[in-house]
Amino acid sequence: MTTFGERLSAAVAERGPLCAGIDPHASLLADWGLEDDVAGLETFAFTAVEGLAPHVSVVKPQSAFYERFGSRGIAVLERVIAESRALGALVLLDVKRGDIGSTSQAYADAYLDPASPLASDAITVSPYLGFGSLDPFVETARRFDAGLFVLGLTSNKEGPEVQSATVDTGESVAARMFDHLRALNDGDSLGSFGAVVGATIGDATESLDFNGPILAPGFGEQGGTPADIRRLFGDLTVLPSSSRGLLRAGPSVEALAEAAQRTNRELLSGG
């Protein structure tokens, strides 16, 4: 099996850079004329998978929107992961987990071990208990050729309180996180350890060249544009992520597919 970085490079080359979020917000269920219950969740999720997964390199379900329905919602998430992968998309499960010791290992086993029904190609993780707290995730990702996207410079307004604080060298906390990623990705054509960097953060002073992929939320509905992506990230491997901006095209499968294809064309042309 190839590494996550290698699989991602091939997928982006074939399908374009767009990452499609499948996030069943209650408001989106209502927009589609669906009830905010498990039946509505199922219809929404599997329609989105059918419309988006064949046309994008990466599908990103946000776990929380499935977890709120309890075990039946998790069962839907398991199928979203499996069916998206069957349609050729890589799956980045957005869980933002981060803990220490055996708890981190349990999370890693749940989301990265192929024996788990929630196994995905990559997950999002938080390094803000110290980057070393992610060691179980890193080791498990390496064992199973999976990937990680570490929170770096996020688009929420509270983020700079932690991420822009300085460490003993005078660099920002976020820059230190990128240093760790640079070390993990050393020697790989495209490393499997990426970062989350918001498309609406403005000009970053930190170097984003750590030889790994970048997940860029804030694109589309939250105001980020193809021009912003090109200006912020240049020739780096970046996955602009859109959920509501794409999902508002539903509930038509054909309209979802067209929205994904159009957005990919806009990203590839730079706007």
How far from 203 is each of 65, 167, 176, 197, 207, CA to CA, in Å? 31, 20, 18, 11, 11
Rounded Cα gap, residues 213 and 258, in angstroms: 25
Query: Is 243 in contact with 219 (CB distance < 8 Å)?
Result: no
Closest CA to 56 of 233, 235, 219: 219
Q: Which of 25, 96, 176, 230 is catalytic?
A: 96
Query: Is 90 in contact with 16 (CB distance < 8 Å)?
Result: no
Rounded Cα gap, residues 134 and 264, in angstroms: 32
Catalytic site includes residue 96: yes
Active site residues: 96
